[in-house]
């Protein structure tokens, strides 16, 4: 985070490596943190790509502690602390703040569909669990929480101390609304995808959270820097290249699974997702590798 206390740059939602048997792969996690820490501006852990909802509270604490220790002094780490219950979200948030996280963020409480009062109670529990002024971000992802958080509730949270929002609606009009109604007051509006960075930058974005940057951080960083420099022609070309890479991610059964495959194909890390996710099949990996080779992005490999 910069001196304005906002997120800046490329902050990938880091995957969590597991063993083939489904246990946490701590050496793999350390290797991935080491790789990304020299490539990007921050990390967002234990979120959707990071399989946070598939882990126990204690496992999530282990991932947070390992990542924070490994990234210390290199890049800031945002810990996703969303859960189905306010108690778990508050516990995870307090833990992350105490271990040196730069911020915490949480998707709205999931499984049940909550009204605005319930959503406000959830985030208030998080705010109460961390030191006053510690950055708490709303993670707005209606596809995963199952409901929209309306603008009125977002404004109340901003008034009560929330620092910003990770907008994963994939709706540029929603992003523009947040920037217009909240961004002008200092509320940090962060883009939750690489797919429309160019448009979001034109609206004032300074940070984005790209799943693709797990395996291809260099192109995501280049696109960010082009946007920040106002070189929108170059940024447009890179945005199209990034979106072609996103097309490749859909050759697996989910974009999360594609990232595991891409990391292996690039020689960065071989790891497994946690069940009920299944690793990409040999045929899927072959299709992904062929598509990446056709795009000319495999030269250089990984660490």
Burial class (CB in 10 A: 0-12, 13-18, 19+), 20: exposed
The enclosing H or E element of 31 equals: helix 26-37
Task: Supply the residues annotated as catalytic.
Answer: 139, 166
Residue partners of 164: CB distance under 8 A and separation at least 6: 6, 7, 135, 137, 138, 187, 188, 189, 190
- Neighbour-count burial for 217-251, b at 16+ CB within 10 Å, e otherwise: bebbbbbbebbeeeeeeebeebbebbeebbebbeb
Annotate 102-155 with DSSP letters as a single string.
Answer: SEEEEEPP-SS---HHHHHHHHHHHHHHS-TT--EEEEE-HHHHSSPPPHHHHH
- Three-state DSSP at 33 gives helix
Chain center to CA of 253: 19
77, 68 Cβ separation under 8 angstroms = yes
Radius of gyration of the chain (CA): 18
Q: Report the chain's terminal Cα–Cα distance, integer Å.
A: 26
């Amino acid at each position: 985070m910069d001196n304005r206390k906002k997120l800046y740059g490329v902050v990938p939602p880091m995957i969590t490596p597991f063993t083939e048997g489904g246990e946490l792969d701590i050496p793999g996690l350390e290797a991935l943190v080491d790789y990304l820490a020299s490539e990007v501006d921050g990390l967002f852990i234990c979120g959707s790509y990071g399989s946070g909802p598939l882990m126990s509270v204690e496992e999530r604490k282990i991932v947070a502690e390992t990542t924070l220790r490994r990234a210390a002094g290199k890049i800031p780490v945002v810990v996703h602390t969303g859960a189905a219950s306010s108690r778990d979200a508050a516990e995870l948030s307090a833990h992350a703040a105490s271990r040196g996280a730069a911020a915490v963020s949480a998707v709205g409480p999931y499984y049940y569909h909550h009204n605005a009062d319930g959503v406000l109670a959830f985030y208030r529990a998080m705010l109460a669990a961390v030191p006053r002024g510690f950055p708490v971000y709303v993670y707005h992802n209606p596809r995963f929480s199952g409901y929209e958080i309306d603008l009125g509730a977002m404004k109340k949270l901003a008034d009560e101390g929330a620092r910003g929002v990770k907008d994963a609606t994939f709706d540029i009009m929603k992003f523009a609304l947040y920037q217009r109604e909240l961004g002008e007051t200092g509320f940090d509006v962060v883009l939750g995808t690489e797919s429309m960075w160019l448009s979001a930058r034109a609206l004032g974005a300074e940070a984005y959270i790209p799943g693709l940057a797990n395996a291809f951080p260099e192109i995501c960083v280049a696109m960010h820097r082009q946007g920040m420099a106002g070189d929108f022609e170059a940024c447009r070309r890179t945005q199209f290249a990034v979106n072609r890479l996103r097309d490749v991610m859909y050759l697996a059964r989910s974009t999360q699974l594609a990232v595991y495959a891409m990391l292996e194909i690039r020689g960065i890390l071989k790891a497994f997702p946690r069940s009920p996710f299944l690793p990409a099949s040999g045929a899927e990996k072959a299709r992904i590798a062929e598509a990446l080779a056709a795009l000319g992005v495999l030269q250089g490999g990984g660490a």
